[in-house]
Amino acid sequence: MEQEAIENLRRDYRSATLSEADVNPNPIKQFEKWFNEAINAKLYEPNAMTLATATTDGRPSARIVLLKGFSENGFKFYTNYLSRKGKELTKNPLASLILYWPEMERQIRIEGTIEKLSKEYSSTYFHSRPKGSQIGAVVSPQSQEISSREELEQKWQQLEQEYENKEVPKPAHWGGYIVKPRLIEFWQGRSSRLHDRILYKKADQQNWKIVRLAP
């Protein structure tokens, strides 16, 4: 595709609006409302979200993970603690999340601090996963260089046989995180790029300040 054709890729957003008067005073309740609407709209993997991390000297990286729960405490996901993101979060426990639903012309952006979930909590979720996924978590040295795809598949088959009639133990290097938000922004696409952006900023432990941002 030529550069001019890429530059001319655009669409006008007209499906909905968002105002300070419409939103819930609690951003978690507002998130729940939008998330339920995304589920009811039967979007493909509405819980897919971009997770951005950074090294201590500010080099960013981003990838897609799956949201696996949310509450007043924050937003949860699971991964390998020894992966690139896990290592970055150990040294710099700050993260940003983005959920983007183009069919609804909506985006949610979350910034906050991050903590590991308890071993007990992570273990409970680990054993709720399909057994194949459990074995995959054991087999994969996530983010590390490997010699071939065949190496992974051979290890997976070996463990499938080993744990055929046994419980797969949760690896010590695998578990959950929770992002505790300090900022949550709700973005609704609008015509002529005059999008609605409603931002919640943490005022104290219990309260949030709501402001509108320019698009």
Q: Which residues are catalytic?
A: 193
Task: Write out the E strands in 30-105.
Answer: 48-54, 60-66, 69-71, 74-80, 94-101
Residue 201 burial by Cβ neighbours in a 10 Å radius (0-12, 13-18, 19+): middle
Residue that has been written with the tokens 């105002």 in this structure: 19
Q: Residue 175, SS3? A: strand
Residue 71: what residue type? Answer: S
Using the 8-state DSSP alphabet, how is residue 34 labeled? H
Alpha-carbon distances, residue 134 vs 101, 105, 154 (angstroms): 29, 35, 16
